[in-house]
Copies of this chain bind each other. A is one copy, B any other.
Amino acid sequence: MKSGEKVLLAHGGGGRLTEELIEEVFIPAFSNDTLNQLGDSARLPHAPPDYSIALTTDSYVVQPPFFPGGDIGRLAVCGTVNDLAMVGAQPKFLTCGMILEEGFTMDDLKRVVASMAEAAEQAGVNLVAGDTKVVPHGSADKIFINTSGVGWIPKGRTPDVKKIQAGDAIIISGTIGDHGTVVMATRENLGIHVELKSDTAPLNGLVEALFDGGVEVHAMRDPTRGGLAQTLCEMAKASGLHIDLKEDALPVRSEVTAIADILGLDILQIANEGKLVAFVPKRDAEKALRICQAQPLGCDAAIIGRVSDTGDSMVALQTRFGGNRIVEQPMGELLPRIC
């Protein structure tokens, strides 16, 4: 593959050029014994008998595909790793299905692939199976990636929204709104010079630390599309319990506040890609907070609210000024192609 080369329809045709793409771009980046067999399916080892198995999938269509702090490749690895981590699984194996637009540059593809490989190494997962399709110019927007993931859940880890109880403390692992804000600012070409970066990161290390520290995690979620508002509304509804949030406890970067104001966005609805929200019993709250804060990805962690049994399944925000507002579930139209 020469510099300046572009992706051709034939690279997705299953013939000689597809082979070249696999041998020159994918294998060098992801090389491992399972992937390198290049069979119709990868053969995986059994999970140890004490573990159960988790399977998840997500497609990524973020626009633009490159943004401060990451790109669609890093996002595709971290997003799926995080979906596994949120059920308590240790992520093990990923698949990668790419849909490329004819004319996408080979240099950009290599950049995305290198970024996926780096994120996979950071998360400790192996990419073991892949597929590439190419569609004519105009039939897709540059690059879409699907990753599916298999993880192993150690015995006894069963975080579940149904375990949420009145009195539970709610912890967020860091600042909210970073990812969605930086993608929107890049897309809208706001031209604001900020240090702000996407938070896209694999959360499995943080999850391991919580469980290793003996925290009884009742439930966990990563507030991606629809932000914290969507995640907490879903959790309130599923548990049948009421959630109170304190606005002045929410960690938010000042740049995020500023850009959200300009774009007219509600920070609670903005996507995060490297944050988790955990529901823990009150007695474990301080311990969980300290464990998070001791991790690089959790240094801005905070206790942001609590659960109560008021008979409704609402999320209420106590504002900075002492008022109260109901946090509504987003409809979903505000931030297309954010992940």
Q: Is the CB of A226 within 8 A of B14?
A: yes
Complex contacts, A334 vs chain B, CB 8 Å:
13
Whether a CB of chain B sits under 8 angstroms from the CB of A329 is yes
Taking a contact as CB atoms closer than 8 A, the residue among B18, B46, B144, B337 that contacts A46 in the complex is: B46
Report the interface size for chain A: residues with CB under 8 A from the other chain.
80
A10 to B47 Cα, complex, angstroms: 38
A131 within 8 A of B: yes
Taking CB atoms, residues of chain B closer than 8 Å to A221 are 40
Given contacts A57-B131, A139-B140, contact A151 B333 (CB under 8 A): no
Residues B96 and A57 in contact, CB atoms below 8 Å apart: yes
Total copies of the chain: 2
Cross-chain contact A59 with B333 (CB below 8 angstroms): no
Nearest Cβ on chain B to A5's Cβ, whole angstroms: 15
- Interface pair B43/A87, CB less than 8 Å apart: yes
Q: Which of A319-338 contact B (CB under 8 A)?
A: 329-337
Query: Given A226-B13, A336-B135, are A56 and B140 also a contact pair (CB < 8 Å)?
Result: no
Complex Cα–Cα for A196 and B224 (A)? 46
A46 to chain B, nearest CB (A): 7
Could you tell me if A133 and B83 are in contact, using CB atoms closer than 8 angstroms?
Answer: no
CB distance from A230 to the nearest CB of B (A): 6
Judge whether B95 and A333 touch: CB under 8 Å. Answer: no
Q: A86-B40, A135-B336, A337-B135 are in contact. Are A331 and B13 (CB under 8 A)?
A: yes
Chain B residues with CB under 8 Å of A86's CB are 39-41
Residues on the B chain within 8 Å of A329, using CB: 15-16
A106 interface residue (CB < 8 Å to B): no
Asked whether A198 is an interface residue with its Cβ less than 8 Å from the other chain, the reply is no
Residues of B contacting A17 with CB < 8 Å? 331-333
- With beta carbons under 8 angstroms apart, the residue of B8, B59, B82, B225 that contacts A13 is B225
A169 lies within 8 A of chain B by Cβ: no
The yes or no answer to A201 lying at the interface (CB within 8 A) is no
Q: Which of B15, B47, B54 contacts A330 (CB 8 A)?
A: B15
A107-156 residues at the B interface, CB under 8 angstroms: 128-131, 133-136, 138-141, 144, 146, 148-151, 153
Report if A89 contacts B (CB, 8 A). Answer: yes
Name which residue of chain B comes closest to A335, CB basis: B13
A332 → chain B closest CB, angstroms: 2
Q: Are B97 and A230 in contact (CB under 8 A)?
A: no
Is the pair B61, A41 in contact by a Cβ cutoff of 8 Å? no
Is A44 within 8 A of B40, CB to CB?
no
Could you tell me the distance between the alpha carbons of A335 and B83 in the complex, rounded to whole angstroms?
Answer: 36
- Does A311 sit at the interface, judged by CB under 8 A? no
* Neighbour of A135 across the interface among B15, B16, B54, B141, CB < 8 A: B141
Pairs across A and B, CB under 8 Å, 18 listed: A11-B332, A13-B225, A14-B332, A18-B225, A39-B160, A41-B55, A41-B84, A43-B52, A43-B53, A43-B54, A43-B153, A46-B47, A57-B96, A59-B98, A59-B99, A61-B135, A97-B146, A146-B146
Interface residues of A (CB under 8 A from B): 8-18, 39-47, 49, 52-61, 63, 82-84, 86-87, 89, 93, 95-99, 128-131, 133-136, 138-141, 144, 146, 148-151, 153, 160, 221-222, 224-226, 230, 271, 329-337
